Amino acid sequence: LKTIADNYVIGYDIDLETLQYAKAHGIIDEAKTDFTAAVCQVDYLILAAPISKSIELLAALDEIQLSQKLIVSDVSSVKQSMITAANQLQNTDISFVGGHPMAGSHKKGVQAAKAHLFENAIYVLTPTKHSKECDVQSLKKLLEPTRSKFLILDAKEHDEMTGVISHFPHLIASSLVHQAKHWEQTHAYLPSLAAGGFRDITRIASSNPILWQDIFYHNRKKMSLFLEEWITEMKHVKNLVEENNKQEMITYLETAKRYRDGLGTKDKGAIPSYYDLYVDIQDQTGALAHVTKLLADNNISINNIQILEIREGIMGALRLSFATEKLQKISAHTLNESGYETTIEK
């Protein structure tokens, strides 16, 4: 988080290698292996461990004799249990304002950190009933250089919304992978048929299991409710398939398509994580290298690259992902000038 600072950033982590990496890569100015020593020196504390660990750290913080006022926030994906823990704090010098940047990836560890990760993403803030307005403003000011968009929410509504749009889809992604794994016993070649669609819908199943178990646990009431709803929904879909009611099925798919197409692509929320650009390339030796070189020559860094479809003699599509909308636009312009056809998905 060096970007949120001209501030001096002290990092604390139980994992020594993480601290060493963060220091070596300029993510933090100083590494501390002792929580008390770290918190006694700071004006702001951001807890970014798995939720259960952040709750433990908050409780440990309350036992420490602080000689300064401290604004504490977190980045936990579930807010209600964090706020409940914050409401039990005894030290009145600690002011807690919950936080949740709605951006990230399926990768774990400090190595997955990116300076632009939160740009244009929604950053939810969940004040407690004790939070002072000036502390909320102060935290916002600290986080402003992340260029995210702040949204104040009540913890309960946050957990319901993220439950629907982020947590529950993880369970479904994992269940689809389980289904494929099961059917591989019948068809050994099944994995090699996994096309873009399966990869897109199951990417998040590659996330950190320890972290996600903790998220599901902290949002368990909502997860249980959504599972009930999903089972009812799937029974309805099963009927549609079995009864072969053509018009009803088209309407079902059309309604979903219209809603999905309308989800903002500019606001970088949970969907999409990056700004994508589709480029048509010929299936020729060096085609990929030519595209990447053109962008590299213009100092444009690509966050992700995926070949969607290349078959002999047929135009293939590349999906290039960028960290910002600006990079996406500049790349389109650069490639268009060299004769490439590009598409930005609306």
Ligand X SMILES: NC(=O)C1=CN([C@@H]2O[C@H](COP(=O)(O)OP(=O)(O)OC[C@H]3O[C@@H](n4cnc5c(N)ncnc54)[C@H](O)[C@@H]3O)[C@@H](O)[C@H]2O)C=CC1
Nearer of residues 145 and 169 to ligand ENO, judged by Cβ: 169
Site for ligand X in 81-120 (CB under 6 A): 101, 104-105, 108-110
Q: Binder to ligand ENO among 7, 18, 36, 105 (CB under 6 A)?
A: 105
- Is residue 99 a contact residue for ligand ENO (CB under 6 A)? no
Nearer CB in complex with ligand X: 62/283 = 62
The least CB distance from residue 268 to ligand ENO, in Å, is: 10
As measured in angstroms, the least distance from the Cβ of 68 to ligand X is 21
Please pick, from the candidates 270, 305, 308, 330, the single residue that binds ligand ENO as defined by CB under 6 A: 270
Selected binder of ligand ENO within 9, 72, 204, 300 (CB under 6 A)? 204
Q: Is 273 in the site for ligand ENO (CB under 6 A)?
A: yes
Question: Residue type for 115, please?
Answer: A
Task: Please identify which residue in 50, 99, 104, 163 interacts with ligand ENO, judged by CB under 6 A.
Answer: 104
Instruction: Give residue 214's identity as a one-letter amino acid code.
Output: D
Among 334, 303, 338, 297, smallest CA distance to 319 is for 303
Contacts of 112 (CB under 8 A, 6+ apart): 105
CA-to-CA distance for 170 and 149, rounded, in angstroms?
Answer: 24
25 binds ligand X (CB under 6 A): no
Q: Select the binding partner of residue 292 from ligand X, ligand ENO, none (C-beta < 5 to 8 A, by kind).
A: none
Query: What is the x/- site pattern for ligand X, positions 197-226, by CB under 6 A?
Result: -----------x--x---x-----------
> Is residue 50 part of the contact set for ligand X (CB under 6 A)?
yes
Interaction of residue 52 with ligand X, rule CB under 6 A: no
Q: Which is nearer to ligand ENO, 190 or 270 (CB)?
A: 270
List residues bridging with 70 in a β-sheet.
94
Is the Cβ of residue 13 or residue 276 nearer to ligand X in the bound state? 13
Between helix 220-243 and helix 246-262 the angle, nearest 10°, is 140
The CA distance from 264 to 128, in Å, is 29
Query: What is the rounded distance in angstroms from the CA atom of residue 95 to the CA atom of residue 135?
Result: 7
Closer to ligand X by Cβ: residue 109 or 196 = 109
Q: Where do contacts with ligand X occur on this chain (CB under 6 A)?
A: 13-15, 18, 48-51, 53-54, 57, 75-77, 101, 104-105, 108-110, 208, 211, 215
Q: Where do contacts with ligand ENO occur on this chain (CB under 6 A)?
A: 77, 102-106, 166, 204, 270, 273
